[in-house]
A and B are shown apart, each in its own frame.
Chain A
C-alpha cells in the first residue's frame, strides 16, 4: 500500500515498529502532491525542504524510543493559520507576500508533537465562501470529479485528504467550513466546541464562532489530532479551562465487543427541520441506512424539533459580515500586506490598498457588515440577530434534554459544478443551511462519510452530521466511528 494512503493510526503502528520512517511517508505525500495537485489545486505553498528536515527529526525521536499520536505524521494546513517563516496568504492578494512572524498555538502544539508540516492549503479568500472558488489563486477541484467544487471554505484541506496528499489536514469552521467540504470530498471533518481549540494565530473572521479542527480519513484519526491541538491557551481568552480528554481511548472503549452496551444506552434525535422535502432523495436514503444501522445496534431514535432552524442563515449572515467588517479593518497596507503607492493621503492609501487587495466576496461581506452596524440599522439587524441567536441556542439546549446527540445530513446535496453558483451570493450562503446552527451555538459537530450517491454518471460522496452538547467531543466521535464502521462503499476516481 502506498504510504500516503495510510490512516494516522495505521502509520503510527508501523512507525512505532520501525517498519517505515516518517521520511518515507513524507516523501510519498510530496510525490502525490506533485502527481495530482496540478489538476486538483489543493495547495498554495509546499514546504519540501522543511518537511523533510522535520521528518528526519521525527525519525530520530522515534529511534530514541519516543512515541506520540502524531510523531512523524505529515499534514497540510489551511492557509488562514499562521506558520512561522512560511507565507500565510488567506488566499488573498492583500497577503500575497506575507510571511507569518509566529506560529499559531495549534501549529506550535503540532511541532512539539513531531507532526510534519507539508504546506498550506487553498481556501475561499479569508474563509469567506462554501466552494473555494473565492480564492484569489484559483478554485480547488473535487478529487472525485474535477469539474465540481470541493466545498469550502476549507476546500483545499478536504480535497488534499481525499486525494491522499497528506495523512490529515487542519481547517477552520466558522459556519460549516470544515464539515461541508468534508461531506463533498468524502472525508471526516470535525468542528470542536467553540473554545476547545485555541484560535491564537488563526486569521480572525467571525470571532464569536471561529474554531480550528481536523480533516481526516477516519473518526479515530480526528480524535488523535484533536487530543494534540485542544486545550486552554493563555493567548486565547475564550479557550475552555476543562481538561482535554483522551478522545481516541473513548472510541476504543465503545468499539467492537464493547459497542453494544454503549449504543443501547444512547438516544439520537432527528431534527425534523433538517429532513424537509428539498433534501436530495439519494442523500435521504443514505441517512435512512445509517439510522437503520443505529437502530439495529440498539440506539433509540427520536424525532425532535428545532423550530428556529430556518433563521440560522439570516442570523449568520448578519453576525458574520458584522464581525468581518471589524476584523478585516486591520488590513490597510501599513506595516505589512499589499501597498500601492499612488495615494497622497493616508485615507486614500487605505482605500486603494483594500480596494485592490480584497476580492469580490470579501468586499461584499465588509459592505454588508458595515451597513448592518451603521447608525440607524444596528438595532434592527445586529442586535436582532443576536437575540434570534439566543433562540437558536435554546432550541439545541431543549433538544439535548431529550436526546444525547442530533443526526442530520451535512449538506442538502452533493458537490455542485464549478461556476454553477458563482453569480448568486445568496444561493452560496444557503449552502450552509445545515451547518450554521452548531456554529452559532458553539457545539461540537462532525461530518462523517455517509457513502456515495449517483450524480450524472458518477458516484459523489455525501456526509452525515452529528451534533453534540458543548464539550462532548468524545460522544460525537464515538458515534461517528460507529457510523463509519457500517459503511465501506467508498468509490474514488
Chain B
C-alpha cells in the first residue's frame, strides 16, 4: 500500500517534522511497503495474551524523594549550548 500525501503531512505535523515534497512522496511509498510487511502480525492470534512493555523483571522501583546536588559546571554545559539572553534560554514566540 501507499500512504497518501495527506496522511504523510498529518503524521509529519504530529511529529513536528518539516519534510520536502520529495521526502513526502518517497516516505509514502517506503512506509507503505514496511507497513505491508508488518501486517504479517495480524495473522497471529493474540487473544488473551498480555502485551509486554518491558523485560527488566522489575516492578515498581522506588527511591526516596530527596533533593540531590547537581554539579554547577555540568548544569552550565547542559543548558548553555543554545541561544541565551540574560542567562535565560531563548525560545520563539508561542502565541
- A residues with a Cβ closer than 8 A to B are 84-85, 97-99, 101-102, 194-195, 208-209, 234, 237-240, 308, 310-311, 313-315, 317-318, 325, 329, 332-337, 339, 343-352, 354-356, 358, 360, 363-364, 366-368, 370-371, 374, 380-381, 383-391, 393, 425-426, 429, 440-442, 470
Query: Inside 8 A of A352's CB, which chain B residues have their CB?
Result: 18
**Chain A residue at minimal CB-CB distance from B83:** A339
Whether A368 contacts B17 in the complex (CB less than 8 A), given A311-B41, A390-B49, comes out as no
Given A384-B41, A425-B34, output 6 extra A-B contacts at Cβ < 8 Å.
A194-B55, A314-B40, A349-B91, A358-B17, A371-B31, A440-B55
Judging by beta carbons under 8 Å apart, are B58 and A238 in contact?
yes
User: Which residues of B have CB within 8 Å of A308?
Assistant: 44
Known: A102-B78, A335-B79, A390-B52. A380 touches B16 (CB 8 A): no
Residues of B within 8 A of A310 (CB): 40
Bitwise, B23-34 to A at CB < 8 A (1) or not (0) is: 100010011011
Q: In the complex, which of the residues B31, B52, B93 contacts A364, with contact meaning CB atoms closer than 8 Å? A: B31
* Most interface-central of A239, A332, A387 (chain B CB within 10 A): A387
Is B38 on the interface with A (CB-CB < 8 A)?
yes
Query: A399 vs B40: C-alpha distance in the bound complex, in angstroms?
Result: 24
Interchain CA distance A374-B11 in the complex, whole Å:
8
Residues of chain B having any CB pair with chain A under 8 Å: 3, 7-8, 11-12, 14-20, 23, 27, 30-31, 33-35, 37-42, 44, 46, 49-58, 61, 63, 71, 74-75, 77-79, 81-83, 89, 91-94
| Chain A residues with CB below 8 A from B3, complex form | 371
Q: Given A311-B44, A346-B93 in contact, is the A195-B17 Cβ separation under 8 Å?
A: no
Residue of B nearest to A308 (CB): B44
21 contacts between A and B (CB under 8 A): A98-B81, A99-B77, A99-B81, A101-B78, A102-B71, A194-B55, A208-B53, A238-B61, A314-B37, A314-B39, A317-B34, A334-B82, A337-B81, A337-B82, A339-B83, A345-B93, A356-B18, A363-B27, A366-B17, A368-B35, A429-B34
How far apart sit A84 and B73, CA to CA, in the bound complex (Å)?
11
Which chain A residues lie closer than 8 Å to B14 at the CB level? 370, 374
In angstroms, Cα B58 to Cα A385, docked, is: 21
- Minimum CB–CB distance for B42 against chain A, Å: 7
Q: For residue B93, give the distance in angstroms from its CB to the closest CB of chain A.
A: 6
- Residues A238 and B11 in contact, CB atoms below 8 Å apart: no
Chain A residues with CB under 8 Å of B35's CB are: 368, 371
Question: When the two chains form the complex, which single residue of B8, B49, B63 contacts A387, counting CB atoms closer than 8 Å?
Answer: B49
Residues of A within 8 A of B19 (CB): 355, 363
Contact between chains at B17 and A391 (CB < 8 Å): no
8 Å CB contact of B18 from A84, A355, A384, A429 = A355
B37 to chain A, nearest CB (A): 6
Name the contact of A368 in the complex, choosing from B34, B46, B55, B75 (C-beta under 8 A): B34
Closest to B38 in A: A314
**Do residues B92 and A354 form an inter-chain contact, with CB atoms below 8 A?**
no
Taking CB atoms, residues of chain A closer than 8 Å to B94 are 345-346
Residue on B nearest A351 in the bound complex, by CB? B18
Residues of B within 8 A of A374 (CB): 11, 14
Please, which residues of chain A bring their CB within 8 A of the CB of B93?
344-346
Contact A426 B37 (CB under 8 A): yes
Contact A355 B17 (CB under 8 A): yes
**Pick the contact of B52 from A345, A363, A393 — CB < 8 Å?**
A393
Bound CA span A344–B92, Å: 7
Q: CB-nearest residue of chain B relative to A442?
A: B55
Residue with the greatest number of chain B CB neighbours at <10 A, chosen from A209, A314, A344, A356: A314
Q: Contacts A351-B18, A381-B38, A425-B34 given; indicate if A391 touches B58 (C-beta within 8 A).
A: no
**B63, chain A: closest CB distance, angstroms:** 7
**A234 CA to B61 CA, complexed, in Å:** 10
Smallest CB separation, A198 vs chain B (Å): 12
Q: Which residues of A contact B53 (CB under 8 A)?
A: 208, 386
B7 contacts across to A, CB distance below 8 A? 371
A325 vs B31: C-alpha distance when bound (angstroms):
14
* A280 to B14 alpha-carbon distance, docked (Å): 42
Contact check, A370 vs B11: say whether CB atoms are below 8 A apart: yes
Closest A-chain residue to B12, C-beta based? A367
Given A334-B89, A384-B41, answer yes or no on A389-B52 (Cβ-Cβ < 8 Å).
yes
Distance (Å) between the CB of B34 and the closest chain A CB? 6
Nearest opposing residue in chain B for A363, CB measure? B17
